[in-house]
């Protein structure tokens, strides 16, 4: 019997890694501290819990994260399979019923005959054996301390992340709002809450002045741009929100036939449509202030908040100095990291890192050469960015076409160019002979 691989952490990256190893015939011991202990951002006992938005972002191939999803789908990703099975309406995005999704991930992992789940906190890295560390950006203090001692300087970086509030559908004033998607793209999946100029300016002023919850060591400059708290964004200028989460472009109020001055969008958070989240409203205001300020939005004057926004510190490695393109520790390759602790940012990106880490480890244990996903693929571009030693000031990164090589020929229009970049990637993926068996097994 082959010695099992230890996977620490049952988030998206850890579950994907454990599943891929087990599917390759390699036994796995999955260590997870829930339900005995939870981070400040976690609430459920389930694996694969989505702690911020329930959206995995765009599902279109003209968007880099849409390409990354498609690559993972074609290679048999557990996380993408569960997400597709439990998606909720969200226009051109892939959003999920977060509880049903997490339950599906949990059931798949726990029922796999080659995965053994061991509950309880891991306080130190195993001294022997193969291990994938996927403990996320809220790695518990004891383990984070052990990692810092073993790899000095690797955990010195951090940023702050935030989650948006949730409200009940029945408490939304639909006389003041309407269903639509921007530019009527896809189906009318978003609730749009308009504000006049006067209403917007009142909201903006109160938001800028609202009381924030204490977050130890918080500074605006440490906020990751992709999860910018709405009050931090507001402080950048009176019109900043109108070009961000309150952008009215492509949203015509059916009552007036015109675009409002500003629009707050709400997206369905569960399959039944009873709960909606405030899109782009990550925040670390105190809970009473969230109720007071967000109720200034006309359609939310009587809103029932079932979860207020929260903010927490996210820690990540100085990966370019520590990891190679397979997410292995350069000086100790039996230890592999995956997920947001590596500096990949986003649900899909975390899943992708777990997939690549597990695929390389499985092939190594089978005596096979690794698969080098080229930079023209989203999987390869992300791994190469994280391990690029020339990056001096490393910051968390969402997948984007900017870290992929250009086409080498001119294509008119950004969407057409992005579609061509995606087509190139999928053609390269289809041509990788090493993936032949895997593709036949899953497609």
Q: Would you list which residues are annotated within the binding site for FAD? A: 9-14
Binding site: residue ranges?
A: 9-14
CB atoms within 10 A of CB 420: 16
Query: Which residues face 58 on adjacent strands?
Result: 93
Cβ-contact 267, 276 below 8 angstroms: yes
Q: What is the DSSP pairing of strand 87-88 with strand 93-96?
A: antiparallel
Rg, Å, the chain Cα set: 22
Residue 35: asked if its preceding bond is cis (omega within 30°), the reply is: yes
Candidates 149, 152, 132, 163; CA nearest to 341 is 132
Cβ-contact 156, 315 below 8 angstroms: no
Q: Please state the separation of Cα 223 from the chain's center in Å.
A: 16
Q: Please state the separation of Cα 61 from the chain's center in Å.
A: 18
Query: Which residues face 315 on adjacent strands?
Result: 158
Q: Is 182 exposed, middle or buried (0-12, 13-18, 19+ CB in 10 A)?
A: middle
Candidates 437, 346, 355; CA nearest to 77 is 355
Q: Is 309 exposed, middle or buried (0-12, 13-18, 19+ CB in 10 A)?
A: buried
């Amino acid at each position: 019997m082959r010695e099992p691989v230890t996977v620490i952490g049952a988030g998206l990256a850890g579950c994907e890694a454990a599943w891929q190893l087990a599917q390759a015939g390699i036994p796995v011991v999955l260590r997870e501290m829930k339900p005995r202990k939870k981070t400040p951002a976690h609430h459920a006992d389930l694996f694969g819990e989505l702690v911020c938005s329930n959206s995995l972002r765009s599902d279109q191939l003209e968007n880099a994260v849409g390409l990354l999803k498609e690559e993972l789908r074609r290679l048999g990703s557990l996380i993408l399979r569960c997400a597709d099975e439990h998606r909720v309406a969200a226009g051109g995005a892939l959003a999920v019923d977060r509880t049903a999704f997490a339950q599906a991930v949990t059931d798949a992992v726990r029922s796999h005959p080659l995965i053994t789940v061991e509950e309880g906190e891991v306080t130190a890295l195993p001294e022997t054996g193969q291990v994938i560390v996927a403990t996320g950006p809220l790695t518990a203090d004891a383990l984070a301390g052990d990692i810092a001692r073993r790899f000095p300087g690797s955990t010195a970086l951090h940023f702050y992340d935030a989650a948006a509030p949730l409200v009940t559908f029945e408490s939304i004033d639909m006389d003041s709002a309407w269903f639509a998607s921007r530019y009527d793209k896809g189906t009318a999946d978003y609730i749009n809450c308009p504000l006049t100029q006067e209403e917007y300016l009142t909201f903006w002023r109160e938001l800028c002045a609202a009381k924030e919850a204490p977050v130890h060591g918080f500074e605006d400059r440490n906020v990751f741009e992709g999860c910018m708290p709405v009050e931090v964004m507001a402080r950048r200028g009176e019109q900043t929100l109108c070009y961000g989460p309150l952008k009215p472009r492509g949203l015509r109020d059916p009552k007036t036939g015109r675009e409002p001055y500003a629009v707050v969008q709400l997206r369905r958070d569960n399959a039944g449509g009873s709960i909606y989240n405030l899109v782009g409203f990550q925040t670390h205001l105190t809970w009473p202030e969230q109720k007071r300020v967000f109720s200034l939005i006309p359609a939310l004057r009587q809103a029932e908040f079932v979860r207020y926004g929260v903010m927490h510190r996210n820690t990540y490695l100085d990966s370019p100095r520590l990891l190679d393109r397979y997410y292995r520790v350069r000086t100790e390759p039996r230890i592999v990291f995956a997920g947001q602790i590596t500096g990949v940012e986003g649900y899909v990106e975390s899943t992708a890192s777990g997939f690549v880490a597990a695929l390389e480890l499985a092939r190594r244990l089978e005596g096979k050469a690794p698969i080098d996903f080229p930079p023209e693929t989203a999987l390869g571009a992300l791994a190469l960015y994280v391990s690029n030693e020339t990056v001096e000031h490393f910051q968390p990164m969402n997948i984007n076409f900017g870290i992929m090589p250009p086409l080498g020929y001119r294509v008119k229009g950004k969407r057409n160019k992005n579609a061509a970049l995606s087509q190139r990637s999928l053609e390269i993926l289809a041509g990788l002979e090493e993936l032949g068996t895997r593709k036949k097994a899953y497609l």
